[in-house]
Amino acid sequence: MHGVTLVDPGTADRFAVDHDSPDSELGEVHPLSWSSEEVSLLEKQLTKRRKVLARHWTDDTIYPSFKATKTADQPASHGQCGVSSAWVLNWLSESWRSAAYYCVGDVQFSADERDVAKFHCWVEIGDESSTRRLVIDLTCDQFQAFRGVSVLIREHGSLMGRSIEYKASSRRRFEELHGDSVWARFEILEDAMRWPWLKTLYRLPRRAVPFGSRRDRRVESVVESPVGSQSTEASAA
């Protein structure tokens, strides 16, 4: 899986022509009804947001037990799976109006039962019994099988065909995360993701725009809005 191309990025570019907004509303859809163009667009948008998320991963958002064992050679996503999945879940419900689930469980990488990452967090869209359900993992690059892949968006059955199985022990909707240990860290990450847009807004220059007659000129300060958006947790990430 190293360096694998998950979807054709060119498809997303073509589709984005008709979906200029980064928050395209597709309605509440099941993965079976998602076209390859829609999945490609979703990957393109999440790839951009993953870059921003990575800039805001800190000791305040990492799973607490990982602080003491954090090393320089570990991927930046190490220990950030829970908080990132909560953020993605919220973003999907707001921007794509999709019924998504916060999953906690294990990731099996081969038939060898020892080759498993325990207590990982990710997001799924679709029925838990369907092999067509989408698996979305923005911290997958902490695993050797996905090094070089920052955003994983694949059907569960497709991953199974590569002997990789995401096995959820629990699936919850976003509103069910209130009170979970991830919630406080999600709020920190959510605030950090929103503030850059506000700071950009206030940094924009104010320009004078004259209008009306020469005798009665007034000045309107115009600021253009920036483009862009808004219980047991895993003990590993």
Asked if 149 and 6 touch (Cβ cutoff 8 Å), the reply is yes
Q: pTM of the entire structure?
A: 0.72
pLDDT digits (tens, 9 = 90+) for 214-223: 333 333 333 3
Look at residue 143 and tell me whether its pLDDT is greater than 90: yes
pLDDT digits (tens, 9 = 90+) for 79-109: 999 999 999 999 998 888 778 999 999 999 9
Tell the burial category of 114 from Cβ atoms under 10 Å away from its Cβ (0-12, 13-18, 19+).
Answer: exposed
